[in-house]
A and B are shown apart, each in its own frame.
Chain A
Amino acid sequence: MKYRGLIIYVVLTILVVSIYGFVIRDGSSGKETGEVSGHSIIKNKGSDTMVNLAQAWAEVYSDISDTVSVEVSGGGSGTGVAALINGTVDIANCSRQIKPKEKEEATKNTGKEPIEFIVGYDALAVYVHKDNPLNEITIPQLAEIYGEEGTITRWDQLGIANSGCRSDKIIRISRQSNSGTYFYFREALLGKERDFESGSLDLHGSKDVVEVIGRTHCAIGYSGMGYATDHVKMLKVATTADQPYYAPNLENVIAKTYPIARPLYMYSLGEPTGEAKAYLDWILSDEGQKIVEELGFVPLTKN
């Protein structure tokens, strides 16, 4: 092997270069957030509803601050809270409020109490296909459509003739059973005692829901109002039949008249410091809130 010397040199060079890449640069990158020198990482995890929002914030923020990179992952509110309890994230996104028990566990596990920030509001819109003649619906009707042993299974029971749907059967589109959206929608419709009837299409993403409804005349589903497209229609919703119907839009959510709207939370472990604090402050600033509105969520109102 007359090239052996050459091969050894090549391997050594590769090793040195990768050690430079992996180890030495790590050393300077700093493992904790809030480190002053070098660049730091904020780990941000949680709700699927908020993942696009969190991603948009992270993307814009990476232009504002060169030294911070925000790592965003979804997985659902439960994941965020679980990570908070394990102390493996800096900021957890949550589309529901953290339960007292979880708060206690986090405090016990990490020695720091989760601090809550409301960063915006989300209205869950009820979607149907754009050719569906239905325009408005009440919460009890929705409960009978989605709830276990519900009585409404056909479109004519809602008093409309859905001509695009030949079988007239309502196809229920839902979300996988532990997303924050699913939890919130179930509670808003059915309270804490009743479950959804199984047999709905439990899709994995908010976008998926809207896309499937856009192709399906028989379908009804729920998703964040920011996900609306040209192929679907958002229904006006009333608490009961004798109440007025409200469309899911900014004014109605801010006025708290639209019945299926909820706050979006971010949790940090203990009072945030350093980079994490700067990030949260920026999110709550006008600039951060503008992104909330751009993505179809509802920004915080100024007091």
Chain B
Amino acid sequence: MKFIQILFSFEGRINRSGWWLLNLPIFVIFAVSAVTFDFPINKSLEHIQVIILLVLALVHITISAKRWQDKNKSALWLLFHIVPLICSVSILAVKLTSGWWELFHLITVINGLWTCVELGFIKGTEGSNQYGPDSETSSETVIDAYISICGISSIIFVFGIFFFVFKEGAGFLFGGLDIWQFLTSEEWYPTSLENKRYGTFALILGTFSVTALAMLLAVPFGLGAAIYVSEFCSPKLRETFKIVIEFLAAIPSVVWGFIGLTLMNQLIIQVFNAPIGLTMLNGGIMLALMSVPIIVSIAEDALKAVPDSYREAAEALGATRWQVIYRVLLPAAKNGLLAAVLLGAARSIGETMAVLMATGHSVNIPSGPLSWIRTLTATIAAELGEVARGGEHYQVLFIIGILLFSITFVVNLIADLVIKGIRQS
């Protein structure tokens, strides 16, 4: 039986687990709708909500019918629980309250429980009966459908993210925003009373400069560590290092920001004699520490992927370990290493809390590691909370979101293609 048939056809049979698999979500949705009756669910969605509930009710009826048939009984048995239910709901809707009606509700509930036991717990006839063949595997169709829906959910989510971020920002993107100025002007005056200017050039530069600095610090250490872990380590030591790297990756970004704000701030003031420690350098160090675990783990995978025969051949020719690494491994694994760096950079570009707290948050064309800067992500985080919904400034923040989404999308895409490239060769 096809999934559509299970949902909407009155023909055929279905087993108990199939009935439960479909009915449980329906029960949950109905219960939630009942509980949140006057909850501020978006009013414009009310009709859609009603339609969905009706469709679900229909599904409930069809699968219950199939369950009766599974027990070799007519689908008309349905009426025993549907009719009292409809009566009860109507009584509630017209607000009749007296003892006798309460009694009627009680009958409905008992009836419902009995139906539930009858349909949900008592097995159907074995082998085929007058309504169709054995239903033993009919629940698998439902499960297969659920699994497929979950499988494609990530596509839906990615599109959903783009759609909703785009939807909030689209009005201004196509109606009034000077895109050239948006990308190239360094004047970010979103709240000026007379002359609002939305130039993100300084913010874009901020994002890229702090990412570049972070990569400058993270790439040598990350690759060095990856080489050490994959080429020089004993297996036990390797496990330990990997666990430590996992721990490093698990530290929340707000904690990195907090470290930047307190410890690193003071360190930079003392070491560089700088007036303020909240600088690009501070943010760069934090980002480096955050992206190093990604670089190490992906770079290590890439080095592992180089066949041992390469190493053996090189060593047989008398090459030292260093020569093997430098002349053989690095060229052979270069795509994977590139992907590692790209993914590390994508992580840095998208990072929010650490740069919000550690970089000084100042609209500035960066002039060196000790200058204070502001990034695209930090701008959204700092300003979104305070803008009037639907206003220009609000929409511009969503447009920055689109920009960020596009940047990381492209970087991830390239990294993915690079990795795919290795697998195929």
Query: Which A residues form the contact surface with B (CB < 8 A)?
Result: 23, 26-27, 31, 48, 74-79, 81-82, 85-86, 88, 102, 165-167, 171, 176-179, 182-183, 192-193, 195, 198-204, 212, 215-219
Most buried by B among A27, A31, A199: A199
Which of the candidate stretches B285-293, B356-364, B414-422 sits at the interface with the other chain?
B356-364
Q: Are B361 and A201 in contact (CB under 8 A)?
A: yes
Q: Are B265 and A215 in contact (CB under 8 A)?
A: yes
Min CB–CB distance A289 → chain B (angstroms): 27
- Bound together, the chains give a CA A212 to CA B269 distance in angstroms of 11
Given the interface pairs A77-B386, A176-B386, A217-B275, the reply to whether A193 lies near B193 with Cβ below 8 Å is yes
Please tell me if B44 contacts chain A, counting CB pairs below 8 Å.
no
- Bound together, the chains give a CA A239 to CA B356 distance in angstroms of 35
Min CB–CB distance B264 → chain A (angstroms): 13
Q: Are B265 and A75 in contact (CB under 8 A)?
A: no
Please tell me if B194 contacts chain A, counting CB pairs below 8 Å.
yes
Please tell me if B318 contacts chain A, counting CB pairs below 8 Å.
no
Interface string of B347-382 (1 = CB under 8 A from A): 000000000110011111000000010100000001
Q: Are B361 and A79 in contact (CB under 8 A)?
A: no
Which of the candidate stretches B64-72, B78-86, B182-190 sits at the interface with the other chain?
B182-190
B194 contacts across to A, CB distance below 8 A = 192-193, 195
- Bound together, the chains give a CA A203 to CA B276 distance in angstroms of 13
Q: Are A176 and B382 in contact (CB under 8 A)?
A: yes
A81 contacts across to B, CB distance below 8 A = 388
- Bound together, the chains give a CA A256 to CA B64 distance in angstroms of 76
- Bound together, the chains give a CA A216 to CA B266 distance in angstroms of 11
For the side of the interface on B, what is the size category?
35 or more
Q: Are A198 and B269 in contact (CB under 8 A)?
A: no
Min CB–CB distance A210 → chain B (angstroms): 14
Closest-by-CB residue of B relative to A88 is B40
The 4 closest A-B pairs by CB, nearest first: A76-B386, A75-B385, A198-B363, A178-B386
- Bound together, the chains give a CA A195 to CA B361 distance in angstroms of 18
Given the interface pairs A203-B361, A216-B276, A218-B275, the reply to whether A79 lies near B386 with Cβ below 8 Å is yes
Q: Are B276 and A215 in contact (CB under 8 A)?
A: yes
- Bound together, the chains give a CA A183 to CA B202 distance in angstroms of 22
Min CB–CB distance A68 → chain B (angstroms): 21
- Bound together, the chains give a CA A201 to CA B371 distance in angstroms of 11
Interface string of B389-408 (1 = CB under 8 A from A): 10001000000000000000
Interface string of B199-210 (1 = CB under 8 A from A): 000100000000
Given the interface pairs A192-B194, A201-B361, the reply to whether A82 lies near B275 with Cβ below 8 Å is no
Q: Are B388 and A82 in contact (CB under 8 A)?
A: yes
A203 contacts across to B, CB distance below 8 A = 361
Given the interface pairs A165-B275, A177-B189, A178-B191, the reply to whether A200 lies near B385 with Cβ below 8 Å is no
Please tell me if B195 contacts chain A, counting CB pairs below 8 Å.
yes
Min CB–CB distance B131 → chain A (angstroms): 30
Q: Which one of B357, B364, B383 lies within 8 Å of A178 (CB-CB)?
A: B383
- Bound together, the chains give a CA A141 to CA B365 distance in angstroms of 25
Q: Which one of A165, A178, A217 lies within 8 Å of B393 (CB-CB)?
A: A178
Given the interface pairs A176-B383, A177-B189, A177-B383, the reply to whether A201 lies near B276 with Cβ below 8 Å is yes
Please tell me if B278 contacts chain A, counting CB pairs below 8 Å.
yes
Min CB–CB distance A131 → chain B (angstroms): 13
